[in-house]
Amino acid sequence: MEAKQYVEKVLSKINRTNPGEKEFIDATKEVLISLIPVLEKHPEFIKASLLERIVEPERQIIFRVPWINDDGEIEVNRGFRVQFNNAIGPYKGGLRFHPSVNLSIIKFLGFEQIFKNSLTGLPIGGAKGGSDFNPKGKSDNEIMRFCQSFMAELYKYIGGNMDVPAGDIGVGGREIGYLYGYYKKLKSLSEQGVLTGKGLTFGGSLARTEATGYGLVYFAEEMLNDNDMSFKGKTVVISGSGNVAIYATQKAQELGAKVVALSDSNGYIYDENGIDINVIKEIKEVRRGRIKEYLDVVPNSKYQEGCNKIWEIKCDIALPCATQGEINKQSAEILVTNRVKVVAEGANMPSTLEAIEVFQNNNVLFGPAKAANAGGVACSALEMSQNSLRLSWTFEEVDKKLKEIMKNIYNNTKKSAEEYGQPGNILMGANIAGFMKVAKAMMSQGLV
């Protein structure tokens, strides 16, 4: 069967067997279409039904998470862990706690994670998990009780050589601490490699907190340098104000850029003098407040309701670091009209398929999530290495390794895009480079 026909056949099967799962269907479509030239060169992958196999999670766990809120009432949430692919290493990927979480979202994130993790060059498979639990406004005790109930089920399915969860939206150092504490109690053993993003006093890695944001900027700087540009003197818009956005802002500013806007799910702030990141850190990391509060400290800045309007601000570089689908076709067109030069994704799949098409048709340099934000999980893998070695590397050592990894990812994606006849198409290059390693491993391991 011809490659194109084969991909169409698999896509229509995905549509049939995953009804209503828009995010998952979109994510598989984006990857599978870009693999057509690979399948033309490697008919053995078609013969081995490799695509049908790779789009089917190896295991999906869905469980009840009952817990008691501060008013003594019983609440029930749904927990997920999708163990997508372990061909190249133990399942690895974050946990997301957000009311929007459903099976489609966890499957799309898990599917992306397979290729992202492969791109890091480190031996980690792909997985994702989470819950529709909403951490916003919850007390510390409520968060702890929820994490303990979540782990009371999840502990059966994870382990340092089996599946290693970490953070994602709504899951940071605090949550990982509670999850790890309960895992340790349930298993009666100290197994630090079971989770990453841990606190520094119990096996966490220096630079893990910064890694996704720093890695994103290192990746974007590679894209810029390769096109005779740099962050220096550029105006940057970054959406979000969580862990990724904060450290992307910090690194972009260190490299001489001016970051003029950040957002949360209510709206965005604009500071023409450049965002004061220490104010944001205090609001978001200490007070766990809303971005609007920036106005109280920097009265010359502006606040606008509605987070998606952030893309109307004129900028040279856009780093979407909030969530999936945040840049639609219309926002992409505005960014193009405003002459954006680079869009690099800190969040997972923040640009819709239509938005990506707009960027590609208008020669915007586009850094897809699975390459551009791989620094977080790469550093998680470095945390696993340190846990196995039972030692800790310095911040500088980890940061140096991170920089090297991001550079390699850029070079490999670029090389793959050239090899398959689409020079400059980093999206395609990332999908191909990420896929090839997993595909070769799956071919060698037989039908499992």
Can residue 79 be called a binding residue for ligand GLU (CB under 6 A)?
no
Can residue 42 be called a binding residue for ligand GLU (CB under 6 A)?
no
DSSP 8-class letter at 122: S
Closest approach of Cβ 399 to ligand GLU, in Å?
A: 16
379 vs 401: CA distance, rounded Å: 9
Closest approach of Cβ 356 to ligand GLU, in Å?
A: 18
Using DSSP bridges, classify how beta strands 342-344 and 317-320 pair: parallel, antiparallel or unpaired.
parallel
- Site residues for ligand GLU, 154-173, by CB under 6 A, read 166, 168
Closest approach of Cβ 435 to ligand GLU, in Å?
A: 17
41 vs 416: CA distance, rounded Å: 13
3-state class (DSSP) for residue 92: strand
Long-range contacts formed by 137-143: CB under 8 A, 24+ apart: 139/70, 140/174, 141/70, 142/67, 142/69, 142/70, 143/174, 143/175, 143/178
Closest approach of Cβ 387 to ligand GLU, in Å?
A: 13
- The neighbouring-strand residues paired with 270 are 261, 302
Stretch that binds ligand GLU, among 174-182, 232-240, 374-382, 406-414 (CB under 6 A): 374-382
95 vs 65: CA distance, rounded Å: 14
Counting Cα atoms < 13 Å in the Cβ hemisphere of 128 gives 25
Q: Name the token pair of 155.
A: 């502990």
| Burial profile 258-278: b = 16 or more Cβ within 10 angstroms, e = fewer | bbbbbbbeebbbbbeeebbbe
- Is 128 known to be catalytic? yes
Name the packing angle between helices 395-419 and 208-226 (round to 10°).
40
CB of 81 or CB of 116, closer to ligand GLU: 116
Can residue 93 be called a binding residue for ligand GLU (CB under 6 A)?
yes
Q: Phi first, then psi: what are they for 260, rounded to 5°?
A: -100, -10
CB of 116 or CB of 437, closer to ligand GLU: 116
- Site residues for ligand GLU, 185-204, by CB under 6 A, read 196
Closest approach of Cβ 376 to ligand GLU, in Å?
A: 4
Residue recorded with tokens 């904060």: 246
CB of 46 or CB of 109, closer to ligand GLU: 109
Q: How many residues bind ligand GLU (CB under 6 A)?
A: 11
Closest approach of Cβ 1 to ligand GLU, in Å?
A: 34
CB of 105 or CB of 275, closer to ligand GLU: 105
Q: Give ∠ CA 392-393-395 in degrees, rounded to 5.
A: 125
Pick one of 203, 376, 429, 434: the residue that binds ligand GLU (CB under 6 A).
376
CB of 320 or CB of 376, closer to ligand GLU: 376
Catalytic residue (choose from 92, 116, 128, 414): 128
Stretch that binds ligand GLU, among 217-225, 227-235, 350-358, 373-381 (CB under 6 A): 373-381
Q: Which of 83, 96, 91, 21 is nearest to 57 (CA)?
A: 83
99 vs 43: CA distance, rounded Å: 42
Closest approach of Cβ 261 to ligand GLU, in Å?
A: 23
Stretch that binds ligand GLU, among 78-86, 257-265, 376-384, 437-445 (CB under 6 A): 376-384
Stretch that binds ligand GLU, among 87-95, 322-330, 356-364, 407-415 (CB under 6 A): 87-95
Pick one of 81, 92, 284, 401: the residue that binds ligand GLU (CB under 6 A).
92
CB of 315 or CB of 321, closer to ligand GLU: 321
CB 240 within 8 A of CB 168: no
CB of 168 or CB of 316, closer to ligand GLU: 168
281 vs 180: CA distance, rounded Å: 25
Pick one of 25, 65, 377, 433: the residue that binds ligand GLU (CB under 6 A).
377
300 vs 284: CA distance, rounded Å: 20
Residues with active-site annotation: 128
Q: Give residues in contact with ligand GLU (CB under 6 A).
A: 92-94, 116, 166, 168, 196, 348, 376-377, 380
